[in-house]
Amino acid sequence: MEYLKFNIDEMTQQMVFCEYREITAESKKPTIVRAFPLDKIADAEPKINELIAGDIIGIYYERKNKTIINEEQYLDENKVLDQETIDWIETFVKRACLDEEWDELLKPPTVDQQVEDFIKEFFEEEEDEPLEQKDFLAEFFAELEAEETKE
């Protein structure tokens, strides 16, 4: 028996959540959970943005053996998902939880990436202005020469 859960929360958290658990008469395996930032997972899997296009604010799917809850969520109503979307969701959850396909997205940024982000955030705008190059040594000697000629 399998337990699958999938949730796109575009409205409040901007996240995509996946859960998977296999339960048999002999054993209960641990629940595998993945939570992806919506923008990152949508870049890796564009179908995510298609699922929440227009005025859809979320998708919720949960399957406990034969019990299924599925919703396409709007501000004022919920609609049932079509079978093609359900099949895609189940495949997506298995790819995320069992195959760990998008785990790279969950790693914290490296120090180099953090430095690059910092530089982009605070210094990128200044690149539009050309840098002024000065020859400080030449200026120094010119000033010395000017002082010598005054004396």
Residue 73 near residue 56, CB atoms below 8 Å: yes
Are 86 and 143 members of one domain?
A: no
> pLDDT (tens digit, 9 = 90+) per residue, 21-74?
999 989 999 999 999 999 999 999 999 999 999 999 999 999 998 899 999 999
Residue 46, phi then psi, degrees to nearest 5: -60, -20
Q: How many domains does the chain have?
A: 2
Are 116 and 102 members of one domain?
A: no
Give the pLDDT band (50/70/90) at residue 136.
confident
- Domain carrying residue 52: 2-106
Sequence-distant (≥ 6) Cβ neighbours of residue 64 within 8 angstroms:
3
Are 83 and 134 members of one domain?
A: no
Calpha distance 24→141 (Å, rounded): 86
Are 130 and 72 members of one domain?
A: no
For position 148, what pLDDT does the model report?
Answer: 82
Last residue of a domain, one of 72, 88, 106: 106
Q: Note the Cα 76 to chain centre separation in Å.
A: 27
Average pLDDT over residues 135-140: 82
Amino acid at residue number 30: P
Are 75 and 126 members of one domain?
A: no
Are 48 and 34 members of one domain?
A: yes
> pTM of the entire structure?
0.72
Are 120 and 46 members of one domain?
A: no
Q: Is 100 helix (H, G, I), strand (E, B) or coil?
A: coil
Q: Is 59 helix (H, G, I), strand (E, B) or coil?
A: strand
